[in-house]
């Protein structure tokens, strides 16, 4: 599956997996990253943070090392969840500015820690936002990761991205792992 150490050897990695396996790959990657001592900032538009928290707890992932930027719960529930110590709730998955602000806040919280920013998933973001806007956001995100000297993992469904978009995306990442 995923070669241990490869996620942190390069700064930013794109992990492509069959869509029905993304949830399992997410769990495996977060377990690996936290196991290597990193704090994870999980930007999720694919699964609500409450679902991921339960999944991670069952996998014995240290939840104290995971911070969520949850872009889907408020949108799906139709109400505003209150932010918690370990979760920022975004109004909807298409609000890229709000996601960027929440990311800056999370990075400030972990300023003196080893951090890996995980985006789950590009494929889901494309449901809510045009590919041009997602591409601009990913360019912003990957540069923010590099400038802060952190690491990043971007998830996408295998064969789920337009070839032109994929070509652009490959210029933003250091490695592509296909699961």
For the chain, list residues with pLDDT below 50: 1
**H or E element that contains 104:** helix 96-109
CATH architecture of the domain formed by 6-178: 3-Layer(aba) Sandwich (3.40)
Task: Please give the order of strands across the beta sheet that includes 66-70.
Answer: 87-89, 66-70, 39-44, 115-120, 151-157, 12-17, 175-178
pLDDT of 2 reads: 57
pLDDT (0 to 100) of residue 1: 46
Rounded alpha-carbon distances, angstroms, from residue 145 to 3, 10, 156: 22, 12, 18
Q: Is the peptide bond before 84 cis (omega within 30 degrees of 0)?
A: no
Q: For residue 77, what pLDDT is reported?
A: 86
Q: Rounded to two decimals, what is the model's pTM?
A: 0.94
Q: What percent of the chain has pLDDT over 90?
A: 82
């Amino acid at each position: 599956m995923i070669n241990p150490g490869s996620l942190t050897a390069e700064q930013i990695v794109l992990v492509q997996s069959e869509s029905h396996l993304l949830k399992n790959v997410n769990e495996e990657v977060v377990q690996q990253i936290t196991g290597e001592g990193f704090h994870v900032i999980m930007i999720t538009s694919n699964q609500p943070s409450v679902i991921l928290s339960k999944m991670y707890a069952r996998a014995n992932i240290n939840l104290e090392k995971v911070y969520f930027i949850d872009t889907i719960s408020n949108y799906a529930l139709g109400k505003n969840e209150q932010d918690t110590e370990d979760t920022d709730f975004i109004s909807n998955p298409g609000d890229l500015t709000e996601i960027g602000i929440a990311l800056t806040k999370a990075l400030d919280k972990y300023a003196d820690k080893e951090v890996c920013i995980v985006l789950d998933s590009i494929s889901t973001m494309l449901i809510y936002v045009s590919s041009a806007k997602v591409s601009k956001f990913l360019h912003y995100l990957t540069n923010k990761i590099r400038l802060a000297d952190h690491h990043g993992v971007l998830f996408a469904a295998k064969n789920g991205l337009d070839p032109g978009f994929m070509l652009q995306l490959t210029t933003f990442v250091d490695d592509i792992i296909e699961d």
